[in-house]
Structure 1
Amino acid sequence: MSKVLDFDYNKYILLSQDYLFKSAINNYNSNKYDEAMSLFISAEEDGNVYALAHIGIMHLFGEGRIVDKLKAFEYFEKGYNYGCPLATAWYSRCYKYGYGVYKNGEYATKVYKENEEALKKLCIAEDTGALFFLGQDMILGIEREVNENEGFKLLEKAMFKGDVHSSTLMAECYINGWGVVENINKAVDLLMKFPNPCSPRYNFLLGKVYYYGSGVGIDYNKAFRYFEIAANSNVSKAKDYLGDCYRYGYGVEKDLCKAIRWYKDAADNSRVANSAISLAFMYKKGEGIVKDKKKAINYFMIAAEEGNVQAQRIISKEYILGEVLKKDYELARLWLEKAANTGDAKSQTTLGKFYLSNFGNNDEKKAFEMFEKAAEQGYTEAEYLLGTCYLNQNLLEKDIELALLWFDKAAKKGHIKSMYNIGLIYMGNYGMIRNPEKGIRYLIMAADENSEDACFMLTQLYMNGIEGYNEEDIYINLKEALSYAKKLVSLYDNCEYQCLLANILNKLGNIKESEEWYKKALANGSESVKLDLSRMYITEGINYSQAVSMLESFSNKENGEAQYLLAYCLENGYGCNRDKKRAKNLYDCSKINGYKESPLPNKKLFGFF
């Protein structure tokens, strides 16, 4: 049965100044654990109930001895029965986490609340153990609301009295910005000035310092050594880092089997998100283990449930694709929304696209809001998409100026589609604004980054003419068109681009190379290129028979130009037997199909047969 403890200040002062107890505390803070334990036991045998809490703490954390949670609980329980507030606090913590006793959260909270006032009075008396315990609870929000500032102040008091556990937690506060401004140098200074080698937290923090080179030089060997100590003391996050060390060979020989073992320990037993997602990718890729999509998704799910944003996006995508999990667009949306609600710009952007994807949750207004939130964080793709919203009038009133503003932000960070869209705007494709000099410049920027659309657009513009560019009414530059067409065919095995290149070469009079590219396009599956190649053959007066053969395949397809060219060959007997009657029928068909005559060499006029 729990009880409300009363704190006897005078009794505490008397016992805390006891020679044996003070000597034990001094030895403990100097990491002389054997001497400290011996003195604490002597003090307890002399009736000092406060020694019971410290003996329990040393057994709980394995300070100078093997961790023994059962024995730790026995001492805490004894101290609780004698009315020691610090022992009672740890007694409640044992029930909360199952240290040496079955978990009983309800009972743990009850004992904690009944002991809270006594613990606070013990803090006022500046007992370092109580200051650390309550300070830690305030910072981490254990059994109370988080109050990082007040928690840090309590730790600071304990640290000034030599408490190494408080200095270690203060270092963590400086690393994470808990109750103070982040200051890695102060954190490192505390870790170096107050060594606490038996503390799992201390070893883990020191491992991170050397792993990232924060405040010191990167030293993977030292990082590995400290992570190993902490991991063997059951620090779950240290197990994750140890897995990384083995996976990538940081400070130890690369060993994927050991990496997997440590990741599994952390993920399966402590649900460490980073370990779970590392395992998920290893199962997905077959890295050091047999590929297994189902296990990969299981670990992605653990990571997602523990708040890993990347895993939440992956689980969302899996519910859309349905490769392992059953398709469920509603769950896909919920996971994406969880990720987006963390403020993650990529997730917000993906969620915005989801709202426009016809998965049953179409919401243009929400899509725009997501793009806007992500864009305001400087996420490049969202800036582009927001510009697209303003440009295309899909989600709101068209605003070319705002479209340009957001495209420009993305373009400055190398976003190719944004460069291309700015080019189109300045070329006058969306009205209102036209500046060909700027338009061509942005299209060239996009083309230099291998934009297919920009290369094609520049090819067409230079070939067909740019109005009001380069101080000319119509600016044509076939050599520039040729360079971009060549870039297109070098990047893409596309018969349309091969045909386009052939057309430009033909216009430049390079018949041989033009023929080669027409034939490549033909071999690549383009039927329409037969017309272009036939036209070139006839215009140049070569290979008439091949031209006729190709044109025959078009003559019954209502293609006016093919009918016209075939009629020309039949009329003159080029590459075929002369057949004026059929030629006249084909000329008539070409007119009916809307083809207007083009000048060809030696064309004869009809009327006399």
Structure 2
Amino acid sequence: MSKGAMAEQFVQQAEDGDPQAQFTLACCYFNAWGCNKDLELAAKWFGEASHQGHLKAQNNYGKCFQNGWGVEQSYETAAKWYHASSDPRTYCPGRPHPKLSCPLACPCLKNALGDGYARAQANLGIMYQNGWGVEKNRETAVKWYRIASNQGHADGQANLGVCYHNGWGVKKNLELAAHWYRLAAEQGDQYGQANLGVCYDNGWGVEKDLNEAFKWYKLAAEQGHAYGQNNLGRCYENGWGCTQSIDEAVRWYRASAEQGDIFGMNTLGWCYAEGWGVAPDVEVAARWHRAAQEAAEKMTGGPVEPPSPNKKPPFDSTSKDPHDAVKIYRRAAEQGKAQGQFSLGWCCENGWGMHQDLAAAFKWYNKAASQGHPYAQHKVGKLYESGRGCEKNPEKAEQFLEMARTKSDERTQRFNELNGSPNAKPKPKRLDL
């Protein structure tokens, strides 16, 4: 039967109280199969089936409450329905609402915990991990991820790997993290693939192997995983596990950036700023860097260091006059402030508010780089690479560029931690059928 005929066929059965028909009809309304998309009707029929103990409907009803699809958003109600779907012992068919303290004498006790719906169990883990609708409890999150994982659920396996990777609710164990990532990755889960790539990239829980890192990044990237795309670009940029290709690097950086990945946007901005693999365009570079910074500020709740320079200074000052701004940068630089040193170096390099002086630019970038400023490290590397403002030195160029890349990787980890999980999942486009 085509999905287009589902809605009409199942209406009468749903109205007669058949829970499977109610669930299927809800999916039709949610996905616009043979009818107009209607989230309120979808939620209604998921609810009808849920009250009769339909596990998949209960999970989807929880999703509706989690995201406000057709109902008023309520994390508490979402968590209750995930509980109901995760452990049938908590819900007695025929009761009007999921009951989290179902008496042991309840007839539904015959359902074992493992008979719960694995997708809901993984979702319930996410609720506990983030404190959505329940008290935040990483140990309980691990419990539900593990139950889902033991049933072979890829989302649960990938998230359990994240917990082992970071020591969230369980003792940190990189070997077990890689193990669970692999199980998810081998099922085609893009998050497991990307995270397994990171393990091989860094030698975390597995022997470092750039060929394997490239393989898993590529599989994740081809499925649209934004961070995997950015890391695949890094592989092509450096020839890690593959033949070096500037065109492929820029292609994957762009794919990542267009999905809103902070690091993809920032790296693509660098490509345009430096004319690496694309025609130099400071306006396009500024646009990507601005987008990356805005996204980072939303994630962290505060300002972050600005990305590479464009036609305006890379460090805000109280003055809009270039000459006054240079004075402010110089004062900060002479006080030993890395950002001031970097900004003054940029002014020297670009002749902004002063005569261009590449030797002075190299001097100030180098001072900032010695304090661990990643953008300054990148600029020093580029100057050594080209011989501008200093004697050309390919070995030192690679040394500073590698320092900048390492610092970027550290920031990636911090952003991931602030975002709650390095394996955060997007909202599903469809609900289960």
- Whether contact under 8 Å (1:425, 1:439) holds in the other structure is no
Amino acid at match of 2:60: L
1:282 aligned onto 2:199: yes
1:418 aligned onto 2:315: yes
1:343 aligned onto 2:265: no
CA shift at 1:375, angstroms?
5.7
Q: Which has the higher contact order (CA 8 A, sep 6+)?
A: 2
**Alpha-carbon deviations, 1:482-520, whole Å to 9, x = none?**
xxx9xx79x68xxxxxxxxxxxxxxxxxxxxxxxxxxxx
Q: Which residue of 1 aligns with 2:310?
A: 388
- Whether contact under 8 Å (1:243, 1:263) holds in the other structure is yes
Q: Which residue of 2 aligns with 1:40?
A: none
Identity %: 22
1:242 aligned onto 2:160: yes
Q: Which residue of 2 aligns with 1:131?
A: 22
Q: Which residue of 2 aligns with 1:150?
A: 41
Q: 1:448 to 1:182 in 2, by over 3 A?
A: farther
Amino acid at match of 2:178: I
Superposed, 1:541-552 pairs within 5 Å as none
Amino acid at match of 1:316: G
Q: 1:160 to 1:310 in 2, by over 3 A?
A: same
Superposed, 1:429-448 pairs within 5 Å as 435=324, 440-441=327-328, 443-445=330-332, 447=335
Task: Please point out which of 446, 449, 471 is paired with 2:337.
Answer: 449
Once residues 117 and 376 of structure 1 are traced to their aligned partners in structure 2, the CA distance between those partners, rounded to angstroms, is 46
Q: Which residue of 1 aligns with 2:428?
A: none
CA shift at 1:293, angstroms?
0.8
- Whether contact under 8 Å (2:4, 2:33) holds in the other structure is no
Amino acid at match of 1:240: A
Amino acid at match of 1:188: A
TM-score with structure 1 setting the length:
0.45
Amino acid at match of 2:119: R
**Alpha-carbon deviations, 1:340-396, whole Å to 9, x = none?**
2223344233223323433443162644543454466576679665x732x3xxxxx
SS at match of 1:331: helix
**Alpha-carbon deviations, 1:124-165, whole Å to 9, x = none?**
434322111232354467899865443223213334556554
Superposed, 1:183-332 pairs within 5 Å as 183-191=74-82, 194=98, 197=113, 198-269=116-187, 271-332=188-249
Q: Which residue of 2 aligns with 1:121?
A: 12
Superposed, 1:510-589 pairs within 5 Å as none
Q: 1:222 to 1:376 in 2, by over 3 A?
A: closer
Once residues 143 and 236 of structure 1 are traced to their aligned partners in structure 2, the CA distance between those partners, rounded to angstroms, is 30
- Whether contact under 8 Å (1:208, 1:223) holds in the other structure is yes
Amino acid at match of 1:319: Y
Once residues 171 and 451 of structure 1 are traced to their aligned partners in structure 2, the CA distance between those partners, rounded to angstroms, is 47
CA shift at 1:443, angstroms?
4.2
CA shift at 1:307, angstroms?
2.1
Once residues 321 and 145 of structure 1 are traced to their aligned partners in structure 2, the CA distance between those partners, rounded to angstroms, is 49
Once residues 296 and 154 of structure 2 are traced to their aligned partners in structure 1, the CA distance between those partners, rounded to angstroms, is 34
Once residues 126 and 440 of structure 1 are traced to their aligned partners in structure 2, the CA distance between those partners, rounded to angstroms, is 77
**Alpha-carbon deviations, 1:439-495, whole Å to 9, x = none?**
6555444545334737989xxxxxxxxxxxxxxxxxxxxxxxxxxx9xx79x68xxx
SS at match of 1:224: helix
- Whether contact under 8 Å (1:374, 1:382) holds in the other structure is no
CA shift at 1:116, angstroms?
4.6
Q: 1:453 to 1:281 in 2, by over 3 A?
A: same
Q: 1:159 to 1:254 in 2, by over 3 A?
A: same
**Alpha-carbon deviations, 1:159-186, whole Å to 9, x = none?**
4556554333211222244444543122
SS at match of 1:234: coil
**Alpha-carbon deviations, 1:383-430, whole Å to 9, x = none?**
665x732x3xxxxxxxxxxxxxxx6xxxxxxxxx505xx4896572xx
Q: Which runs of 5+ in 2 are unaligned?
A: 84-96, 101-110, 298-302, 346-363, 372-433
Q: 1:254 to 1:322 in 2, by over 3 A?
A: closer
- Whether contact under 8 Å (1:443, 1:454) holds in the other structure is no
SS at match of 1:265: helix
Q: 1:118 to 1:141 in 2, by over 3 A?
A: closer
CA shift at 1:266, angstroms?
0.6
Once residues 245 and 373 of structure 1 are traced to their aligned partners in structure 2, the CA distance between those partners, rounded to angstroms, is 30
Once residues 418 and 229 of structure 1 are traced to their aligned partners in structure 2, the CA distance between those partners, rounded to angstroms, is 49
- Whether contact under 8 Å (1:171, 1:191) holds in the other structure is yes
Q: Which residue of 1 aligns with 2:430?
A: none
- Whether contact under 8 Å (2:79, 2:127) holds in the other structure is yes
SS at match of 1:335: helix
- Whether contact under 8 Å (1:206, 1:226) holds in the other structure is yes
Once residues 212 and 455 of structure 1 are traced to their aligned partners in structure 2, the CA distance between those partners, rounded to angstroms, is 38
Larger radius of gyration: 1
Q: Which runs of 5+ in 1 are unaligned?
A: 1-109, 392-406, 408-416, 429-434, 458-484, 493-609
- Whether contact under 8 Å (1:349, 1:381) holds in the other structure is no
1:171 aligned onto 2:59: no
Moved more, 113-122 or 256-265: 113-122
- Whether contact under 8 Å (2:138, 2:169) holds in the other structure is yes
**Alpha-carbon deviations, 1:245-293, whole Å to 9, x = none?**
3334444444443332221111012x22221222112212222221111
SS at match of 1:289: coil
Once residues 183 and 253 of structure 1 are traced to their aligned partners in structure 2, the CA distance between those partners, rounded to angstroms, is 32
Q: Which residue of 1 aligns with 2:356?
A: none
Q: 1:146 to 1:382 in 2, by over 3 A?
A: farther
CA shift at 1:305, angstroms?
1.9
SS at match of 2:274: coil
- Whether contact under 8 Å (2:229, 2:256) holds in the other structure is yes
- Whether contact under 8 Å (1:384, 1:418) holds in the other structure is no
- Whether contact under 8 Å (1:356, 1:362) holds in the other structure is no
Amino acid at match of 2:77: K
